[in-house]
């Protein structure tokens, strides 16, 4: 893990502010979703990547009736065999 040297306090609601420079480098924009992971005593934030509900792929994801589905699974579901 690479240290940034940035230290932030947690406010009374449990929030921290990610510095603008860090958000820009990581392409994190307003309203982007972040996933929170724990690894030992560490907290890891990662930009959320939606996955297909069927195969778990994150390639070519589209929303269909509120669910994420990849192009391959959509083709398989809609093909008439």
Dihedral sign from CA coordinates of 24, 28, 34, 35: negative
- For the chain, the domain total comes to 2
Are 44 and 73 in the same domain? Answer: no
Are 38 and 3 in the same domain? Answer: yes
In this prediction, residue 10 carries a pLDDT of 96
| Mean of all residue pLDDT scores within the chain | 90
Q: pLDDT tens, 58-79? A: 888 988 888 899 999 988 888 8
Closest CA to 46 of 55, 58, 54: 58
pTM above 0.75, yes or no: no
Are 40 and 16 in the same domain? Answer: yes
- Domain of residue 77 covers 49-81
In this prediction, residue 81 carries a pLDDT of 62
Are 34 and 59 in the same domain? Answer: no
Low-confidence ranges of the chain (pLDDT < 70): 80-81
N-terminal to C-terminal alpha carbon distance within the chain: 49
Strand partners, 43: 38
């Amino acid at each position: 893990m690479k240290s940034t040297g940035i230290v932030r306090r947690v406010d009374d609601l449990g929030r921290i502010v990610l510095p603008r420079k860090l958000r820009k480098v990581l392409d994190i924009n307003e309203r982007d979703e972040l996933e929170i992971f724990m690894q030992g005593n560490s907290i890891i934030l990662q930009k959320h990547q939606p996955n297909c509900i069927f195969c778990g792929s994150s390639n070519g994801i589209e929303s269909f009736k509120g669910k994420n589905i990849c192009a391959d699974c959509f083709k398989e579901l809609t093909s008439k065999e």
